[in-house]
Amino acid sequence: MEEVTVKALILPHPASVETGPLRMIDRPRPEARSGDVLIRVETCGVCHTDLHIVEGELPPRRAGIVPGHQVVGRVVSRGPEVTSPTVGARVGVAWLHRACGRCPSCLRGLENLCPEAAFTGYDVDGGFAEYIVARAEFVYPLPDVFSSVEAAPLLCAGIIGYRALRIAQVAAGDRVGVFGFGASAHLALQVARHWGCDVYVFTRGEAHRNLAAELGAAWVGGLEETPPGAVDAGVVFAPSGRVVVEALRHVRPGGTLAVNAVHLDGIPAFDYARLYGERGLRSVTNSTRADGQALLALAAAIPLRPRVEAWPLEEANHVLGRLRRGEVTGAAVLQIAPALPGAT
């Protein structure tokens, strides 16, 4: 039988996105083994984590990795013993590829902290390709209300933003600070607004400020500006330690600031008075399947409206460059294959 080849973008070695480090190759189509499903990829979101991987800010785990972890596609085959999802089902693949299910963290419902966890587009090949293999137990059915382009950013930007709000202990009616305004923040703002919160957005770019205001932010300005009052809870979405320190200045005593960054450039020394007053400072680390299930259900109920710019797979290097320069407003998504006839 003739071998079927498919296209994929690989990262031969980390490098600045300005040099176009991802390389298109033809390779054998992967196969679903026991516990796996093979998915024909329709779309894949482009995330800041992909940028950190491509530029080497996250230590390489494997040479020649295929990035991408916000994957939407259709199941085309299943490995032995897999009964769900069905062939033909539209599913999403997120950052968490697998967890052990046995360690203390997993047994506490914190599989995001599993020491044996593996991650899509980092430890195993991701969605910047025509096909991807995923663990059947770690894929998500997707609400029909979202197109495949709209659904892609929900699978990381949406899920991790939702977890960040929970880690920050946001309660209904709170005043919430959002520091940095990209793909995850523009979805988290919509969730917080649904919970009846007033959201203060701290960001520099005019396009980002305009989008925040359009989505219902109660106040939009810069870190150096003074909003109408201190926030009860906040989330830092910018991968900058300086922003973390400045954000603490806007958090009320007893409030919590969550840092939603898989990579941070370092936190500079700061006056203890910024943290004093029982303010909490917490990191957000990965996400669980429960987070994903909750966010997708909530996204359909609200419904969330992702703002998306779509690009062909061949433009991935260009899109990563736009992301690095802060030129993406909302989320960026690669369109890899057209939806099958009759598909959402």
DSSP conformation letters of 156-191 = THHHHHHHHHHHTT--TT-EEEEES-SHHHHHHHHH
Structure tokens belonging to residue 307 = 């703002």
Contact between 310 and 149 under an 8 Å Cβ cutoff? The reply is yes
Collect the ranges in the chain with pLDDT lower than 50.
Answer: 340-344
From the list 43, 44, 143, the residue with the least C-alpha distance to 89 is 143
pLDDT at site 155 = 98
pLDDT at site 342 = 38
From the list 83, 84, 110, 107, the residue with the least C-alpha distance to 96 is 110
pLDDT at site 1 = 53
How do the domains of the chain map onto residue ranges?
5-155+307-335, 159-283
pLDDT at site 274 = 96
Q: Are strands 219-221 and 5-10 parallel, antiparallel or unpaired?
A: unpaired
Confirm whether 5-155+307-335 and 159-283 share one CATH topology: no
pLDDT at site 343 = 38
Cα-based distances in Å from 310 to 150, 227, 262? 10, 34, 24
CATH, range 159-283: 3.40.50.720
What is the pTM assigned to this prediction? 0.95
Q: What CATH topology corresponds to 5-155+307-335?
A: Quinone Oxidoreductase; Chain A, domain 1 (3.90.180)
**Cα angle for residues 101, 106, 111 (degrees, 5° grid):** 100
pLDDT at site 3 = 80
